[in-house]
């Protein structure tokens, strides 16, 4: 069975970036960092038993990038890769943690952003739809005046 990564490898650089959010060169560097971490992890084990993983490392990275790019639920992403929600969650956590530990793919911290000479001006608009609660019209809420007392 063909992996999803093998199918998207034929895309142009622009289309690949539209799909994953990263350039193909960055994807290759990320994949190399994951392969290095996986080799170190496997080197620590003498016994190589257990089931073969359902997804290759490239598909695990692609799954994580799709999750971060599209922000679909882990259930939906897992269904498109043929794995469960728990396995999807585990893969995303492992890939994120491994890439952060490599030190090659981390965002600058808050202090680094504050030290920069660039002055940021930004307007954030919250355009979410919310239901408005209207008061219910019933007899217990409204007070009625008897007509006899009105003059």
Which single residue is written with the structure tokens 């089931």? 51
Residue 116: per-residue pLDDT? 66
**pLDDT tens figures, 44-95:** 776 666 777 888 999 999 999 999 888 889 999 999 999 999 999 999 999 9
User: Does a structural domain hold residue 80?
Assistant: yes
Domain membership of residue 82 (yes or no) is: yes
18 lies in a domain?
yes
Q: Which domain holds residue 75?
A: 4-114
**Domain total for the chain?**
1
Q: Look at residue 137 and tell me if it is in a domain.
A: no
- Compute the C-alpha angle 108/113/119, nearest 5°: 145
In a domain, 145, yes or no: no
pLDDT tens, residue by residue, 86-135:
999 999 999 999 998 888 877 666 676 667 676 767 777 766 666 677 76
pTM above 0.75, yes or no: no
- Decide: 88 and 78 in contact? Cβ < 8 Å: yes
């Amino acid at each position: 069975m063909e992996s999803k990564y093998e199918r998207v490898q034929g895309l142009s650089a622009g289309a690949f970036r539209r799909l994953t959010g990263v350039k193909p060169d960055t994807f290759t560097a990320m994949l190399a960092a994951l392969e290095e971490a996986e080799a170190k992890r496997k080197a620590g084990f003498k016994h190589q038993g257990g089931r073969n993983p359902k997804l290759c490392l490239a598909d695990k990275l692609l799954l994580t990038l799709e999750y971060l790019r599209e922000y679909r639920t882990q259930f939906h992403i897992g269904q498109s890769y043929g794995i469960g929600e728990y396995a999807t969650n585990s893969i995303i956590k492992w890939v994120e943690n491994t890439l952060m530990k490599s030190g090659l793919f981390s965002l600058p911290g808050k202090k680094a952003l504050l030290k920069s000479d660039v002055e940021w001006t930004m307007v954030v608009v919250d355009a979410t739809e919310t239901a408005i609660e209207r008061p219910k019209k019933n007899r217990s809420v409204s007070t009625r005046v008897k007509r006899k007392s009105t003059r």
